[in-house]
Every structure is written in C-alpha cells, then in structure tokens.
Amino acid sequence: MTVTIYHNPRCSKSRQTLALLIDNGIKPKIVEYLNRPPTQKELSRILRLLNLAPRDLMRKKESEYKSMGLDNLNLDDSSLIAAMISHPILMERPIVTTENNAAIGRPPENVLSII
C-alpha cells in the first residue's frame, strides 16, 4: 500500500501524524506541499477521497483567505482549488492518502482508519 502525507514540517499536528505513521510501520511518501503544491488533478483526487468540497479543506483563519476574497460564497469550486494550488498554506494539514482513501490528521489518530 502506498501512503502519502502532505506534510508541513513546521506544523506540530503534521509532525505528530508523520510520527504516528512511522510508529505503525508505515514509511510514507512525504510531500512538503508548501514547496510542491498539488496539481489541480491531485487536489481534485484528494477532495474526492476525503469526500469534501474545496471550501471544507480550506484554512479559513489564514490571512490569505480573507485578503483573496475567498470568503465570497459565490466562488465556484475551480476558483477555490486554484487558490489552494497557488497558495497551499490555505490547505488543511496534514493530509494522508492511500490509493482509495484519505484522512486529515487533525487529530493525528484520524489517519489510523485508512492505514
């Protein structure tokens, strides 16, 4: 099974989730998404696996959320996805994916259900 973590090493929850995976014998592919944001195709897949709308994956307290006008409820999904790709800090973290599942590691134990 391939496990990928979209990881921010500066985030304590992301570090805890990575440690939890390793402690459970999983050696995940680590994607530091702030340095290498997901593509539109990758992010669409993540959203589908999480069964979330783009806005539900966004960190609404980030300054970019307000400054970019992303609180406008009339924005369509493609606009929100484009915003997360161009400003990946807007994405909730960490995200762990497998071939057929995904989970947000908040709390880190959430990922145990997919591994």
Token duo for residue 86: 């161009």
Instruction: Give the residue numbers marked as catalytic.
Output: 11
Q: Using CA atoms, how far apart are residues 23 and 45, in angstroms rounded to an integer?
A: 27
Dihedral pair phi/psi, residue 66, rounded to 5°: -75, -45
Q: Are 32 and 4 in contact (CB under 8 A)?
A: no
| Residue 21 Cα distances to 2, 87, 90, 99, 101, angstroms | 12, 26, 24, 16, 15
